[in-house]
Structure 1
Amino acid sequence: MNSLTDRTPVVRRRTPLNRSQIAGFWGAWAGWTLDGMDSFIYALVLTPALTELLPRSGYAATPANVGLAGSILFALFLVGWGLSFIWGPLADRFGRTKVLAGTIFTFAIFTGLAATSHNVWELAVYRFIAGVGIGGEWALAGTYVAESWPEDRRKMGAGYLQTGYYAGFFLAAALNYTIGVHYGWRAMFLTGAVPVVVAILVLLRVKESEKWEKADASAARAKPLREILGPTYRRRTWVACILLTIAIIGLWAGAVYEPSAVIQLATKAGMAKNDAIRTASLATGLLSISTILGCLALPPLAERIGRKKTLAVYFLGMAVAIAGSFGWAFYLPNGLAPFIAWLCVLGFFGGNFALFSLWLPEQFETRVRATAFAFCTSFGRFVGAGVNFLLGAAVLHMHTLGVPVALTALAFIVGLFVIPFAPETKGEVLPQ
């Protein structure tokens, strides 16, 4: 007969984090937050910036030209993101923290320089180079947290880390609500130079991950790009590329065009220009909070039902939310409130990016992990740039924003048929 002590439930304690792991996480999280802020600043200041710069560049600042130029500049920004693949092999060779600091420094400096733009061409160059820096931050921050946190904590760590990007959206919206409305788009870009301080702190205060240090000798001899495209990893690399491409298309279709859509709906409802901008900022804040909740809900769900089923749930939610917001609510006679309500749903399922921060590191060994992460994200951004060109052309041709963006919901339906080809890593430890 068991004693009372035998029947007492065992309380499982999670491995405590040491000072270096905590500092490393907050350094990566802060970089990812400011990365998200920088990315979304452009979406928030798109209309006022191009309205001023297009006439200086020889073009009329008509709504059609603003929409087309905005899509082209954003596509160039995504191409810069795609070229950020260069950071992955550097991180596998020289370490996560130094290269992470380099990505933050690059996007901060060139975001600040965007405030000095005299024409649309200068703005395009600055945003392109900033994109190269921004694009590398996610891969390196995700790799660093996965490698440095204990096994029983790293899954939730991925969810925590991903909240940073959307906290950055919220921060950008708050800055636009205060600084942007009163001081204009140039002041907004200047705030993007602040992450330089974070880059310095990351470089000086955060220690390298032990997993990378143990694999350092083999990393020096490895050819990571050849390896992730070789027989061992080829299938999982390309499947991850496709799934990330779909996620990126949905993120930028929904999130980047959201402020413009809200401004149009608010103006249609009779709001003044400044009130419409404030409404767009508030809607962006709601979108960000919803996405943070989606990021936090994802790791426990992925541990319970598996990585593939979780991504399927989130992809299906994205398809419904994009169609409901841009395909239906956008065209209602009084569509502002329903559109913002659908944005909250879109935001929650937009938290699907947290799964990639959790899942990708589990699919690759340490010596090639950063390269694989950077390659898969960069591939998606290149395709996303092409889709953005098509969206801009469709908006110009159809004279509407809603339908072209709503059609991107189809990408998530395609994704549901791709997910079964990915590996299920539930219950597996991070490979060395």
Structure 2
Amino acid sequence: MPTTLDREVRATRATKTPLNRSQITGFWGAWAGWTLDGMDSFIYALVLAPALTELLPRSGYEATPANVGLAGSILFALFLVGWGLSFIWGPLADRFGRTKVLAATIFTFAIFTGLAATAHTVWELGIYRFLAGVGIGGEWALAGTYVAEAWPEDRRKMGAGYLQTGYYAGFFLAAALNYTIGATFGWRAMFLVGLFPVVVSIMVLLRVKETDKWERAETVHPHVKHESSLKTIFNAQYRKRTIVAAVLLTVAIIGLWAGAVYEPSAVVQLATKAGMDKHDAARMASIATGLLSIGTIIGCLALPPMAEKIGRRKTLAVYFVGMAASIALAFGWAFYLPNGLVPFIALLVVLGFFGGNFALFSLWLPEQFETRVRATAFAFCTSIGRFFGAIVNFGIGAMVLHMKTLGVPIAITAVAFLIGLAVIPLAPETKGQELPN
């Protein structure tokens, strides 16, 4: 029979540390920024065809399907390069604090997303997307760092899962906006909606106080304040985990971005083959994106409890296997079926669930680095993969142009997850460990 002490211990374990007003406000500011970040990222995929169909002739090129596909790949690669350069925000956040720099990243991607609505040529659109990428890429690292440091130890792991749902809620929001605003007012109106995050950046800047962990680190380590945090993450203590984390994130970025970015185009092709007109096919792409987003949100919420039960490495392995299988089946099998629209969309939901693997990095990366270099490490590891993602994206574009098909080139990216499975054992297992100071 349970004793009074047993009941008190269980009650204590069941009661989570309450969040104060600043922690709640900070989380919603970070979540909203990450949501609008996801919305901004996916707006481009949704408006790719109509935007390039209009801008290519103005830039001196014929708007053929092949040219639209190639130009889309080049512009998305430029976006990823800008995203890769966003590692500059990490050292700034370790030097000057999380909240102000987080607000600056949101402000940057919002302004240049809005300016994309004014583009008159493909080159102007490419420049605006590149600069928006610089801002977008920094948001995840700083939002993840902020939540990890600001939330109590017994809540921060689930907080990582909650935070990551924002990005895919942004996918859902982009799909809903494309279904309504985009379908009615066109692609320029979609980019103008991206100005809204400016409001979020102002709220974050004015209402959220700096994390206690960062302030304590500034007090405890004043002698290292001016040391290069980027240099520190490659010293003997951190070099291996920095490289391994960067490789694993590269794998995740290559696989998920290939599937998610080309998903609307694939759905449009399948819907057209099923007899839908251009308007209905575009709406079907929005519905499919919404379902993909719902699947990913569920995957993000399921991940932290799994990571606490079986560990970080085994959890990532499960999600990587799921990603490899769903990408290969969706683009390598369902895409080529005579009536492949329904099975393709069903597999997109599965792909979305395992795409929640990014939530693990929001949980796992902060556990591997101390406070004074945490934002730098997070920003670097999440950014470096975008450079390789850009290279792969060029390759995918070339393969699509050469093979005259979208499915097989995307399906091949499933191989990246097999490489990731081989690298996972090299990463440190941090299950049960508290966030280092």
Pick the TM interval, shorter chain.
over 0.9
Task: Determine if contact 1:111/1:193 at 8 Å carries over to the other structure.
Answer: yes
CA–CA distance in structure 2, aligned partners of residues 131 and 118 of structure 1: 19
The offset of 1:6, in angstroms, is 5.1
The SS at the match of 2:225 is helix
CA–CA distance in structure 2, aligned partners of residues 201 and 222 of structure 1: 31
The SS at the match of 1:271 is coil
Give CA-to-partner distance per residue, 1:299-320, whole Å, 9 cap, x none: 0000000000000000000000
Give CA-to-partner distance per residue, 1:280-316, whole Å, 9 cap, x none: 0000000000000000000000000000000000000
The offset of 1:256, in angstroms, is 0.3
- Structure 2 counterpart of 1:228: 233
Report the more deviating stretch, 213-222 or 83-92: 213-222
- Structure 1 counterpart of 2:4: 5
Counterpart code for 1:48 = P
**Aligned partner of 1:72 among 66, 71, 74:** 74
The offset of 1:5, in angstroms, is 3.3
Alignment of 1:194-205 (within 5 A): 194-205=196-207
TM-score (ref. length: structure 2): 0.97
Counterpart code for 1:194 = F
- Structure 2 counterpart of 1:305: 310
Alignment of 1:187-226 (within 5 A): 187-217=189-219, 218=221, 220-226=225-231
The offset of 1:126, in angstroms, is 0.3
- Structure 2 counterpart of 1:423: 428
**Aligned partner of 2:382 among 377, 380, 392:** 377
- Structure 2 counterpart of 1:130: 132
CA–CA distance in structure 1, aligned partners of residues 169 and 2 of structure 2: 50
- Structure 2 counterpart of 1:32: 34
Task: Determine if contact 1:151/1:429 at 8 Å carries over to the other structure.
Answer: yes
The offset of 1:221, in angstroms, is 3.2
Counterpart code for 1:21 = Q
Task: Determine if contact 1:362/1:431 at 8 Å carries over to the other structure.
Answer: yes
Task: Determine if contact 1:87/1:136 at 8 Å carries over to the other structure.
Answer: yes
Counterpart code for 1:121 = W
Counterpart code for 2:173 = L
Alignment of 1:266-345 (within 5 A): 266-345=271-350
CA–CA distance in structure 1, aligned partners of residues 39 and 256 of structure 2: 15
**Aligned partner of 2:118 among 111, 116, 119:** 116
CA–CA distance in structure 1, aligned partners of residues 217 and 4 of structure 2: 44
The offset of 1:4, in angstroms, is 5.3
Alignment of 1:81-120 (within 5 A): 81-120=83-122
TM-score (ref. length: structure 1): 0.99
The offset of 1:8, in angstroms, is 3.8
1:4/1:120 Cα in 2 relative to 1: closer, same or farther (>3 Å)?
A: closer
The SS at the match of 1:118 is coil
Counterpart code for 1:107 = F
Task: Determine if contact 1:391/1:404 at 8 Å carries over to the other structure.
Answer: yes
CA–CA distance in structure 2, aligned partners of residues 7 and 146 of structure 1: 30
Give CA-to-partner distance per residue, 1:408-430, whole Å, 9 cap, x none: 00000111110000000000000
Counterpart code for 2:154 = D
- Structure 1 counterpart of 2:167: 165
The offset of 1:222, in angstroms, is 3.0
Task: Determine if contact 1:290/1:347 at 8 Å carries over to the other structure.
Answer: yes
Counterpart code for 2:275 = G
The SS at the match of 2:333 is helix
- Structure 2 counterpart of 1:358: 363
1:3/1:312 Cα in 2 relative to 1: closer, same or farther (>3 Å)?
A: closer
Which segments of structure 1 move beyond 2 Å, counting only runs of 4 or more?
A: 2-10
CA–CA distance in structure 1, aligned partners of residues 232 and 240 of structure 2: 12
Task: Determine if contact 1:34/1:195 at 8 Å carries over to the other structure.
Answer: yes
Unaligned segments of structure 2, at least 5 residues: none
Task: Determine if contact 1:222/1:367 at 8 Å carries over to the other structure.
Answer: no
CA–CA distance in structure 1, aligned partners of residues 240 and 282 of structure 2: 45
- Structure 2 counterpart of 1:152: 154
Aligned residues: 431
Aligned CA-pair RMSD: 1.0
The offset of 1:216, in angstroms, is 1.6
